[in-house]
Structure formats: structure tokens, C-alpha cells
Amino acid sequence: MRKILPLVGLWAANAVAGALAPPNLQAQAWRTMTSARQIWERAPTDVNVRYGVGMLTVKPADPSMLYQMAVRYDEELFEPVIEWDEDDRELRLGVDKLHHEERRSMKARGGSSATIGLAREVPLTVDLEFGAGKADIELGGLMLQQLSLSTGASETRVSFSQPNRIAAGRIAIEAGAADL
């Protein structure tokens, strides 16, 4: 036999459940987005990666690819960024925050992730900024002309499993409250 609560009983049950729920518990609208671009020209390229919170993986891309990116994000808090300026050879990848409320974006950290592959066959100047969470950055086998890496409150692992394929002019690493 099915039991049907009268409207007042249903309202009371919802009120009690709401009072017992953790504060600021909101549904998240998770989305996954992928993007990639083939190499059409092997001219030096500037790459700017910005990723605020979550799990970030950077690695060499598949052969013949300028970049590959897969992002899982809460669409209420973030939006993916993919900008390619062919004339200036500038590539911008990552996510931007839609809201500036830190508590909400820190809460989103648990499920957000990005995997970014960078070209092996193109000389790159990479500027990478990572905020909070975990990052696994494998740069072995790339053609890094310059690297600027900045990380905040994170657990970040940077590795070169293979030598850089060209002589790098400059590598700068800046870490905040990080385990680097």
C-alpha cells in the first residue's frame, strides 16, 4: 500500500530535511568539454594555461597535435577557455571563474579536472598558472623555449621524463603554499 503525505506533511518533511542538510549544499551542473587542434605550421607558439582549482594534468600531446584538452567543470562556477590567435601564434587554455565567491569555487574543487596536451613538434613559450589542488605536469620531450610556472596552494609534481628537445632560454618556477 502506498502512503501519500498531505501537502502540509510533505512541506514539513522538506523543511526538516532542509534544516538537517549541510549549509550551502547546492546541486552542481557538471559538464565535460574536449577540444584539440592539429599542427598546421611549426612556427614558435606562446601558450598560456590558467587553471584555478581541481586536478590539472599537463603532458605532451599526441603527435601532429598543437594541443588537446579535456575539462570537467561545474558550469555554474566556471567556463572553459580555448582561444587561438593564428596571426600572433598565441594559444590560451584552461578555465575562467564565473563567480568570485571563493567558498563556492573551493567546494567545486573535488570533481573538477583538466588534462592538457601540448605540442611536441612546435617550439613553445609556456606560461602556466595553477591555483589550488593537485597538478601533475610532465614536460619531457617538448620543445620549450621558455617556461614560467606559478602555483598556489597545491600539491604539484613537475617532471621531465625526456630531455627538452631544444635549449631553453629561461625556466622560472614560483610556488606559494605548495608541495612542489
Q: Is 146 exposed, middle or buried (0-12, 13-18, 19+ CB in 10 A)?
A: middle
Q: What is the pLDDT of residues 50-88, one digit of tens each?
A: 999 999 999 999 999 999 999 999 999 999 999 999 999
pLDDT at 8: 42
pLDDT at 110: 66
Q: pLDDT band at 121, cuts 50/70/90? A: very high
151-167: average pLDDT: 95
Q: Report which of 21, 35, 116, 111 is spatially closest to residue 75, judged by C-alpha positions.
A: 111
As a whole number of angstroms, the distance between CA 43 and CA 39 comes to: 10
Q: Using only the alpha carbons of the chain, give its radius of gyration.
A: 21
pLDDT at 178: 86
Q: Write out the three cell numbers for 134.
A: 593537485
Q: Does position 7 have pLDDT exceeding 90, yes or no? A: no
Task: Give residue 37's identity as a one-letter amino acid code.
Answer: R
Q: Does position 49 have pLDDT exceeding 90, yes or no? A: yes
DSSP-derived secondary structure letter, 179: B
pLDDT at 6: 44
